[in-house]
Amino acid sequence: MNMNTQPVHIIKGNSPIILAMPHTGIYVPGHIKKTLNANGRSLADTDWHVDRLYRGLLPGATIIRANFHRYVIDANRDPSGKSLYPGQNTTELCPLTDFNGDKIYKKGREPDIDEITRRQLHYHTPYHLAMQTEIKRLRRVHNNIVLFDCHSIRSQAPFLFAGTLPDFNIGTNGGTTCDPSLEKIVVDICHKAQGYTSVLNGRFKGGWTTRHTGDPKAGIHAIQMELAQQTYMDETKPWAYQAARARTLRRVLRKVLHALSDSLSNFR
């Protein structure tokens, strides 16, 4: 089986930091692709280049990357289908629309309950099982670990939020998913980063991964980082990676990850 058709790609490290990437994959099985309309097949809502952006920032970090596209099933949604943001526009466990609210399926070809269940079994569940396996492995080595959930989205998406999104969107579900000192490290570095804007628990407070995984009392701290894509790439097709912008952003992200890793050595 081609690596990119497997549900999950894992790079194992021994650092106390796990980098999770649920939305960088672009694999869509053929039987699903043929049900998508032209809009859906464009895969516009990918977290483009996030794997490249974080590559090498923290040697020894474990990386867990979903290879399947979020249009197959969203690895950062509650498997029950319950909305993470009640009362606000969002996309479903198996999205029916894109971030503009436009349909992604051909008429009458939307997934039914049985198909959604199959996608959970083949994609969503293996991704989260892999994550739990790596968490358990690293917790045998470290008293505390950080699951850093890596995301990006275009800076303007009126269907989802008004105005322009801040550059750094830090999510800890209202401070419940990590120790306050770790939250403060990320907030302070991002706030002081020259030329960037940031917010804590704004529009994106942390998705299913952050909320389901974060358990500070058990030594598992989860933080979501949603980046505005304009900080490192073009937000229109062909969604080109902009190396100069990315280099500047990578310096900030490197500082965040190293500061988190260093701080965990002081935890007891």
Give 5 or 200, the one with higher predicted confidence: 200
Would you state the pLDDT for residue 265? Answer: 81
For residue 103, what are the β-bridge partners?
97
Res. 84: pLDDT tops 80: no
Question: What whole-number distance in Å separates Cα of residue 94 and Cα of residue 38?
Answer: 17
Mean pLDDT over residues 222-238, rounded?
Answer: 97
Mean pLDDT over residues 41-58, rounded?
Answer: 98
Closest CA to 177 of 202, 145, 150, 199: 145
Mean pLDDT over residues 54-74, rounded?
Answer: 98
Mean pLDDT over residues 18-34, rounded?
Answer: 98
Banded pLDDT at 266 (limits 50, 70, 90): confident
175: enclosing H helix or E strand: none
Mean pLDDT over residues 223-227, rounded?
Answer: 98
Res. 88: pLDDT tops 90: no
Would you state the pLDDT for residue 3? Answer: 56
Would you state the pLDDT for residue 45? Answer: 97
* Ramachandran region, residue 13 (left: φ > 0; alpha: ψ -120 to 50; beta: rest): beta
Question: What whole-number distance in Å separates Cα of residue 193 and Cα of residue 191?
Answer: 6
Mean pLDDT over residues 47-71, rounded?
Answer: 98
Res. 2: pLDDT tops 60: no
Would you state the pLDDT for residue 202? Answer: 95
Give 1 or 113, the one with higher predicted confidence: 113
Q: Which amino acid is at 118?
A: R
Residue that is written with structure tokens 């436009």 in the block? 102
- Mean pLDDT of all residues belonging to the chain: 95
Res. 163: pLDDT tops 90: yes
Domains and CATH numbers, the chain: 3-264 (3.40.630.40)
Res. 89: pLDDT tops 80: no
Question: What whole-number distance in Å separates Cα of residue 163 and Cα of residue 153?
Answer: 14
pTM: 0.95
Res. 204: pLDDT tops 90: yes
CA 97 to chain centre: 19
Would you state the pLDDT for residue 82? Answer: 81
Q: Provide DSSP, 195-262.
A: T--EEESSS----HHHHHH-BGGGTEEEEEEEEEGGGTB-SSTT--B-HHHHHHHHHHHHHHHHHHHH
